[in-house]
A and B are shown apart, each in its own frame.
Chain A
């Protein structure tokens, strides 16, 4: 296996609000290896985006606070270095792309200026050399007449083109990690297919590791190598994508897959099986397992104690007290 490039140890991120403390990320640990693509899947409020912003140290403080843990990038704890040092990592070594490209793009600056600015800062490239590199990047992400489009402003691009421009900007300094926070969620499926195809090709060519965050298990089936499922700020299941899809072992993962329609087949008359109820209030997490109120497999122990993430088969971990293969199910009241 290639060497570790990023190691998260027990990351805890909270937000102190008027309504109480929001426990967004509650002790997340994982390793990312060079060139690897991991997928982080979960629904709104599961902590997947907050965890990404924590890695980039982009959590607004206050109200937010990284309350504990370590984020080791090539052995250095990013939580301990100065803001100046962090600025060199951010964008240079670790880049992030968002759902809304306008989060990253400055509306009053040309696309070219924005990319060359990053190149000045991180790669010490200037003038004509930087412009050439910027045009090369736009061309690489499939923007036609790249050298002319350097002079365009973001509003002159369509949604798909802006997403491409943001990817070009993120990758221009050859980062070793790309964090993709739902970059295709707002796009139409045909444009999403273009972007996924593009990222797949760029990954082969540039060899960066990718942390892809999404609510869409379908995207992960194609792109990721390993999958982590998050719920209420915890990783509840982790395995290779093939194992997660073929043999999901956490009741939440199982529930997600059962509630998902498939475009490629349908057994006649079959109905979707929803997960009853809704996610817990992150200001008042239960003492036990955060999923037990919605869980058809729950037992008494689940109410009292939150299960840790433990290996149940080689390379397959779940945070659950029961074995869904053996356990009986019961009715759950939403």
Chain B
């Protein structure tokens, strides 16, 4: 599976949609759909960290889960190393699932409070019948050690650990089955600043050591700049801009990306004094009732007639830099 720039695609997402029905009344009649993921086409390249950014409700977490087939897609396909997950069941699906894992935002609710750390981290080995007895104990101890936890603490329960340590437990469990692809869904958002850097550095080291491919879902644009190779910006269920970190941060083309980047405060008063901030008006529209035309047109400072009539498609207007915006098309195309 080769993408257009010659790199091997780990995950190929084509026209993926995930709609959640909106029901009403006693008979739960479907009266509409929340278009959480609305026609996303995207490749995740082997060995890269792809950042998926956007604000609450933009569909980024739903996209991550639909890629893993934790949500069944409404339509479209996801190929994982060339295999379509939706066509698999039973043993084949399980062995495929072992190769893709997820790390959650909230280390407080994603770990079973009634299980010891050893049981939590060892569970994947038991489910997949990979190890038991002393071998199991050894594998669990190795994993805990690798993520920076003392294996002697394995007999304790999650509530005895801090947020950062719990996130390490979640990472150890995700690593148990030697996955090649990990969806990290806001893995550091619940942590304090000084602890965030610890976890991010751990994720980077593990990537090098185990050849991992990451989809890093976050609203923290500063962190994405540090750890991702490419970034996809999502707004109301759609990808509006996709490119390398340098292209997106130094030369953003979509007005939403521009506003988003300008809104992030910089910890430097001299820079802050000189910054021109683009303040977007209003809130995110409801994904159950998106605007016609470009779905950013209600808040876009440069929208013109065409943006209210037609929907822009994600196009490679610059080399390996895709933008879904009519204004950018006019600006960039000769």
Residues of chain A touching chain B, judged by Cβ–Cβ distance below 8 Å, are 43-44, 158-161, 188-194, 196-197, 215-222, 241-242, 245, 255-257, 259-264, 266, 270-276, 278, 334
CB distance from A75 to the nearest CB of B (A): 32
Nearest chain B residue, comparing its CB with the CB of A240: B269
| Cβ B194 vs Cβ A259 within 8 A | yes
Choose the segment among B16-24, B90-98, B198-206, B317-325 that binds chain A (4+ C-beta atoms closer than 8 Å).
B198-206
Whether A158 and B283, one on each chain, are in contact in the complex, defined by CB atoms closer than 8 angstroms, is: yes
CA distance A276 to B194 in the complex (A): 8
B side interface size, CB within 8 A: 43
Measured CA separation A276–B148 after assembly (Å): 11
- Closest A-B pairs by Cβ, 9 of them: A218-B265, A274-B197, A193-B263, A275-B194, A259-B197, A188-B55, A272-B197, A43-B192, A261-B222
**B267 contacts which chain A residues (CB < 8 A)?**
217-218, 220-221, 245, 257, 260, 262
Q: Does B180 contact A (CB under 8 A)?
A: no
Taking CB atoms, residues of chain B closer than 8 Å to A276 are 198
CA distance A272 to B260 in the complex (A): 23
Answer whether A274 and B280 are a contact pair too, CB < 8 Å, given A260-B267, A261-B225, A262-B266.
no
Q: Is B56 an interface residue (CB 8 A)?
A: yes
Contacts of A161 in B (CB 8 A): 283
Shortest CB-to-CB span from A230 to chain B, Å, is 13
Q: Could you tell me the distance between the alpha carbons of A314 and B277 in the complex, rounded to whole angstroms?
A: 33
Q: Nearest B residue to A193 by beta-carbon distance? A: B263
Q: Tell me how far the C-beta of A36 lies from the nearest C-beta in chain B, rounded to whole angstroms.
A: 16
Residue from A158, A160, A255 in contact with B194 in the complex, judged by beta carbons closer than 8 Å: A255
Most chain B CB within a 10 A radius of its CB, from A190, A271, A273: A190
In the complex, which of the residues B56, B164, B195, B265 contacts A219, with contact meaning CB atoms closer than 8 Å? Answer: B265
The answer to whether residues A260 and B268 also contact, given A190-B263, A193-B277, A197-B279 and a CB cut-off of 8 A, is no
Given A242-B269, A263-B225, 15 further pairs, Cβ under 8 A: A188-B284, A193-B277, A193-B280, A215-B193, A218-B222, A221-B271, A222-B273, A255-B194, A256-B194, A261-B220, A261-B222, A262-B225, A266-B226, A272-B197, A273-B197
CA distance A159 to B283 in the complex (A): 9
